[in-house]
Structure 1
């Protein structure tokens, strides 16, 4: 009995701690193929979620609303088990413009069985439906426990639904939130990696998709309703989350030790600080160049931090005196609050505040260490960029989580790391191959400053022969350059006289992307279009196919 009560408590949906700004959602449920009898229940559930959480809901099956003015009032559009071709060419164009203007899309269940001949929609939803077995129970493995759609879920979520197989795995272009364990049901067709819920940013907008929601009963389930609510809040821009694709990380489970007073409790994979001042530190290994990701949540105005770059020690003050603390604190001096490198460098306050979820909600940190440079990303947004110049300290070393003291309750979960190898790329000469097997090319083989750099069919010409020289990429005696040292999405990349500026520094990463550290953005083929002559520019790193490159050497 106690075990069943505990399981039930773990599944209770968490309330939204603070009211969102008022917003408006359009629920669209037109079908041109199979029609799900759960659609009315789904529409009603979203109406009730809106009434309880401060957003208005308009439901329609009239595709005529898909015009610039018709979509303008809404922060997000929910495709509620739509099927088939539901929008004509003009309506599709209006919806594309709507997403590119920064709005949101939510796809529920059969939304993946919609608009197969519309490439933009296929990328937006993330994957198309392929098949399904009979309705049956299955176990969902929660992969991201910080996103508002999944933060309330246990690590293993048992539910009954109609489980879709998809034509492709969305992981390369989306951030997977949850997967199906195919060993727990029959008829799975995707193997060990079977995503069932995911999110992504696409063409300036936000997308959330859940494969659940076939049954009428789903929409009476408070846990599923919270899942749906979290997806709507994310897509509507109310709840920041890191929805960049993520591969190659290793969970840091065993290998931790407690230094100093206090401790951490652990429940269903969640660590919560108790007392202090102490430190839970990963003693199994030191790290040099890496991306560390973890999720954290404050109960209220609490205090904690993530320490990096300290030597092995059972004294928690060794981390304070020898390493660096990335602070977690709702209120303090600007160089001692969330996102700061404690007492060394304050976070970008505007960027931090826009990306931060309030106490009671989960946030995700990425701490990107490359040599003596530390970049701090909060929910996928860079909020701090710090370079260590102290010859006594280093960013290389151990990592740890602080339990600050009585009354400071901070929780952590999903601590994972990706080691990046050395900071200096090897030298090499040859083509740089990207989208559709085409090459990075200097237009017309022209060596003049500001010549366009483009994607082009590989032809072994000098215009496609690049040399990796330190942190630069060189062709025709000049350097790959970001126009005007720009840092905004869409800034074009060009050929320019080598000048040792940050606009000409490029860091290849293990995931195949090439980042310009000056902007924190990735080398990108514009519009994900592989036609000859397509402009190369910089864009927020997504590890999407148009950002993956194979370098010489």
Structure 2
């Protein structure tokens, strides 16, 4: 059924989806459980600029979609719902052909916090013609509307390098009638483009050789899906467009995933196309025109995809793509996608260079996995994550970064200063590991040293299944994490997926042959663990 109520003079419609399951015993418990788990979506269609006449058609189509998908949907143009308490009730916020300045600053901040806590966003068509003076929103959506030619048919091409449930029903190329947006700047590098328009297929103003129409990404903790289609009334009776929108919503809600290719994927290519770069603060010894700080853990970060010193680059060597991390500036190379249930394998070796502020320390890097939240939440550089330590004599150690942590079977050793250290031991009981009050340590050392000498290649592996993971160095199990979890928004949630980050931490390091393969079970050789 649908409920209509008013707030501040604006109509708000809520669609309640009641699922009744019949059973020979009772149906009340089942129905109650399903109502509690129904996903809650806020559809926002406020405009302060051009108003699309297709908005009512879009609302009706989304109501029907909500019925079919068992979502609870609230339709509103009341911006006062954008507050911390109200937004926390929603799994996803959808901007349906919004235009102009629709939120005040306090409402914008509430939405930013919502996304940081793992909220989700879907933008339809004119959602990119919204909030031009809000930098967070512009980066989240990925582009800002500039202009459009007359409405007409055009050919769209599916980007096969970025398979997504929202395009799996489309042929490789297809024709559609709509209003085709040009954007002010090239669509942001940090998004995954899934549909682009063939500019030779239509008449009028164009944008350039690369003209994305739909994309997705994970931005500062939240899932984001945007489609520039959806201007016309007819769009909301077009079964293919509605399937596209529905699957974008489902992915944003976490009901579907972008799957790892069955045969596995090579994560390194010449353009690092599967990765983003986040650069931290700059030490005064670095020759670059940017604000400097002797404390690189608290200084101003350079930010997203801003790497003028080419701290992260790829070159060819004997036919292999070699990732070169100079280490000169603290930073993180971060996958655009999240991954779960996988086997990650990579070879690494140390280079010769070291930099301030770690000139006299061990060479250090790290593979961060199940990474969550905004960039720079840890030392303004890295994300909350589980760390597979890559450090001289310490490869395979486990470190809990920020609010992502887990339990490790480990032997406790009390040091002379009274502090506890832990060494992985599969025969011991699990120990909660986190750098926080109430926890004895945030680190567990490897069980034994299996690294090759400096300058030689080593094989590092991580197996992740559900909320468990296993660390290997050159074929030897050296650590294991159980019950991975994430403290976010006042809740502790089980953690079974996340982004992968490679650290730049003042030491030169090389990586190659980085492959990720899907798994449904741990290999039988790990049963004894």
Q: TM-score, normalised by structure 2?
A: 0.52
Aligned mate of 1:501, from 394, 403, 419 = 394
1:89 equivalent in alignment to 2:105: yes
What SS does the aligned partner of 2:175 have? strand
1:474 equivalent in alignment to 2:354: yes
What SS does the aligned partner of 1:478 have? coil
1:477 positional shift: 2.6
1:540 equivalent in alignment to 2:499: yes
Q: Which residue of 2 aligns with 1:267?
A: none
RCO greater where, 1 or 2, for CA within 8 Å and sep 6 or more? Answer: 2
The verdict on how the C-alpha distance between 1:519 and 1:453 changes in structure 2, with shifts beyond 3 A counting, is: farther
1:68 positional shift: 1.5
CA distance, structure 2, for counterparts of residue 87 and residue 221 of structure 1: 31
1:210 equivalent in alignment to 2:227: yes
CA distance, structure 2, for counterparts of residue 542 and residue 229 of structure 1: 30
1:551 positional shift: 8.4
1:472 positional shift: 7.3
Q: Which residue of 1 aligns with 2:444?
A: none
Deviation per CA, 1:57-113: give whole Å up to 9, x if none.
110000011112211221111100100110011111111111111111000000000
Q: Which residue of 2 aligns with 1:175?
A: 192
The verdict on how the C-alpha distance between 1:128 and 1:456 changes in structure 2, with shifts beyond 3 A counting, is: closer
8 Å CA contact 1:233–1:239 kept in 2: the answer is yes
1:154 equivalent in alignment to 2:171: yes
1:366 equivalent in alignment to 2:265: yes
Q: How does 1:336-485 map to 2 (within 5 A)?
A: 365-368=264-267, 418=269, 452=297, 470=350, 474-475=354-355, 476-479=359-362, 481=364
Q: Which residue of 1 aligns with 2:145?
A: 129
The verdict on how the C-alpha distance between 1:439 and 1:170 changes in structure 2, with shifts beyond 3 A counting, is: farther
CA distance, structure 2, for counterparts of residue 420 and residue 93 of structure 1: 35
1:105 equivalent in alignment to 2:121: yes
Aligned mate of 2:81, from 65, 71, 76 = 65
8 Å CA contact 1:441–1:454 kept in 2: the answer is no
Q: Which residue of 2 aligns with 1:194?
A: 211
CA distance, structure 1, for counterparts of residue 462 and residue 285 of structure 2: 22
1:24 positional shift: 1.5
CA distance, structure 1, for counterparts of residue 152 and residue 284 of structure 2: 49
Q: TM-score, normalised by structure 1?
A: 0.50
Deviation per CA, 1:433-452: give whole Å up to 9, x if none.
97599669799658xxxx84
CA distance, structure 2, for counterparts of residue 222 and residue 30 of structure 1: 25
8 Å CA contact 1:83–1:115 kept in 2: the answer is yes
Number of residue pairs the alignment of both structures matches: 319
CA distance, structure 2, for counterparts of residue 40 and residue 542 of structure 1: 43
Structure 2 gap ranges (5+): 1-33, 287-291, 303-307, 310-326, 331-347, 383-388, 399-459, 465-497, 511-529
What SS does the aligned partner of 1:192 have? coil
CA distance, structure 1, for counterparts of residue 349 and residue 251 of structure 2: 42
8 Å CA contact 1:472–1:504 kept in 2: the answer is no
Q: Which residue of 2 aligns with 1:35?
A: 51
CA-atom RMSD, angstroms? 4.5
Q: Which residue of 2 aligns with 1:226?
A: 243
8 Å CA contact 2:154–2:176 kept in 1: the answer is yes
What SS does the aligned partner of 2:113 have? helix
8 Å CA contact 1:483–1:491 kept in 2: the answer is no
